[in-house]
Chains A and B, each alone.
Chain A
């Protein structure tokens, strides 16, 4: 896109990754049938960094992060997480990778047939293979406390509001203490107060567990609080990159329109 001014925003995706980048993507292409969703996408995520991705609805944000955990596979290009090419991993290696990478689904994706407690217990018993009931219960309560929903512990997902589901989904992902977190719109559909709390939680995870995160969001308040660096995705490729201040005051109309 010709509207990018190199003075105010670094040419997207080309800022040199640090040596300890945990995710490196170069020239990624992904399409569904005839529809090209990601076109020559390049980016990296540095260790311990919060990277916010902005983009219109349908621009391919969810597709991009689904590729990062091997839920979708690219047609061409390279996508490395912790140095290994995701599409070349075998079943067991992929599992090991997924344990280290947390994924918050846009929809929350709570298990309908289980209570909130069982939802949070699922990854603890299946993935970490914990056996000690007290330990499990403590971890669940601690996690629910931090998303402010301890009193929902025995509820079914169908009895929760949209925002509560999202927070339980977040709790279920964070309970495994992942090294990399991929948040797909963690605050969308939440009131400003809860959004603020979620943003704080994202920051807290970064500080406490040195988590590196990709945060997809439309919520500019959330971006301002959490972002170390931002990328703007449009029509399958990154069109702008920079800090919050750089992008906010940049010349690109599309980019600025996110900040209104």
Chain B
């Protein structure tokens, strides 16, 4: 197989350029008059409320399993009482945001990609544009903002449920009151743990919404491109989340812990 490097480079270059332009039109359209409040609320409901059970169960199980898995090892060091704070720190700082964002990339980004993709293929986006309405404002701005707002909230909820899961798990072997567990969990947590984590999830949410919209909005003609848009939305959104996480870790270690 001959790989034509210039072709791939050119295509990548064009794709990046298109994404920048798309992002530009997103930001321009946020501040335009006629903001679609109702649609933002509807999308927030679809992104947030409809993911509650999936995200909630994931969060709970995360804390539950993490506690059960680490207790035997910690026992060897005689450090079982540190398990709650260890779980709290690892879930809130790192595992919670990343796992929830990846799950939402699978659920939300693919949904947005498929929805906008099929609207594109069936000429609904063209129809909106041709009537003089603004499809970016109606479809894209609302979805990206809904994700940017809802993913952090979902992550916070998952964090809380993970602690609850940890509490339930630690009560299987030891008995600990609810109050005591949370005291321990929060004893080593600081504002500098929560704050960067929340900021990070805002960016994850934005990436999920942006990638879903970009892939859907720019899908090709033909029905097979709808599936393709959904699929590549999940892949790119996941990549973005992992990349952003790596950057966030670097930034927090520079700013927060110095």
B-contacting residues of A (Cβ < 8 Å)? 66, 69, 71, 95-96, 98-99, 101, 103, 105-107, 109-113, 122-123, 126-127, 129, 169, 172-173, 176
Number of A-B residue pairs, CB cutoff 8 Å, is 60
Residue of chain A at shortest CB distance from B130:
A103
Q: Mark B15-46, 1 if CB is under 8 A from A, else 0.
A: 00000000000000000001000000000000
Asked if B129 CB lies within 8 Å of chain A CBs, one says yes
A103 & B119 in contact (Cβ 8 Å cutoff): no
Q: From B124, B130, B132, give the contact of A111 (CB < 8 A).
A: B124
Q: Is the Cβ of A112 less than 8 Å from the Cβ of B133? A: no
B123 at the interface (CB under 8 A from A): yes
Which of B34, B124, B130, B133 has a CB less than 8 Å from the CB of A71? B130
What residue in chain B is nearest A128 (Cβ atoms)? B132
Residue among B122, B123, B124, B129 making CB contact with A98, cutoff 8 Å = B129
Q: Are B34 and A126 in contact (CB under 8 A)?
A: yes
Contact B124 A110 (CB under 8 A): yes
User: Which residues of B lie under 8 Å from residue A101 when comparing CB positions?
Assistant: 130
Complex CA distance for A96 and B134, rounded to whole angstroms: 12
B127 touches A109 (CB 8 A): yes
Q: Which residue of A lies closest to B25 (CB)?
A: A91
B126 with A109: CB separation less than 8 A = yes
Do the beta carbons of B131 and A112 come within 8 Å of each other?
Answer: no
Is the pair B129, A71 in contact by a Cβ cutoff of 8 Å? yes
Using Cβ atoms and an 8 Å threshold, which residues of chain B touch A169? 127
Q: How would residues 129 to 142 of chain B score, 1 for a CB under 8 Å from any chain A CB and 0 otherwise?
A: 11111100010000
Bound CA span A99–B128, Å? 11
> With a CB–CB cut-off of 8 A, which chain B residues contact A71?
126, 129-130
Total contacting residues, chain B, CB less than 8 A = 17
A101 to B34, CA, bound (A): 22
Bound state CA distance, A96 and B127, in angstroms? 15
In the complex, A111 Cα to B119 Cα: how many Å?
8
B124, A69: Cβ atoms closer than 8 Å:
no
B129 touches A127 (CB 8 A): no
Per the bound structure, the CA–CA distance linking A172 and B118 in Å amounts to: 20
Most A C-beta atoms less than 10 A away, residue of B34, B118, B123, B131? B131
Name the one of A66, A110, A113, A127 contacting B131, with C-beta atoms under 8 angstroms: A127
Q: How far is the CA of A111 from the CA of B124 in the complex (A)?
A: 6
14 contacts between A and B (CB under 8 A): A71-B130, A99-B131, A103-B127, A105-B127, A107-B122, A110-B124, A112-B122, A122-B128, A126-B132, A126-B138, A127-B131, A129-B34, A173-B131, A176-B131
Q: How far is the CB of B97 from chain A (nearest CB, A)?
A: 30
Kindly provide the distance from the CB of A117 to the nearest chain B CB, expressed in whole angstroms. Answer: 15
Task: Report the bound CA distance from A109 to B131 in whole Å.
Answer: 12
A176 CA to B128 CA, complexed, in Å = 13
Separation of A95 and B132 alpha carbons in the complex (Å): 5
Q: Are B130 and A98 touching (Cβ within 8 A)?
A: yes
Contact of A126 among B124, B130, B134 (CB under 8 A): B134
CA distance A172 to B124 in the complex (A): 12
Add 13 more A-B contacts to A105-B123, A126-B133 (CB < 8 A): A71-B130, A98-B131, A99-B131, A105-B127, A107-B122, A107-B123, A109-B124, A111-B128, A112-B119, A112-B122, A122-B133, A127-B133, A172-B131
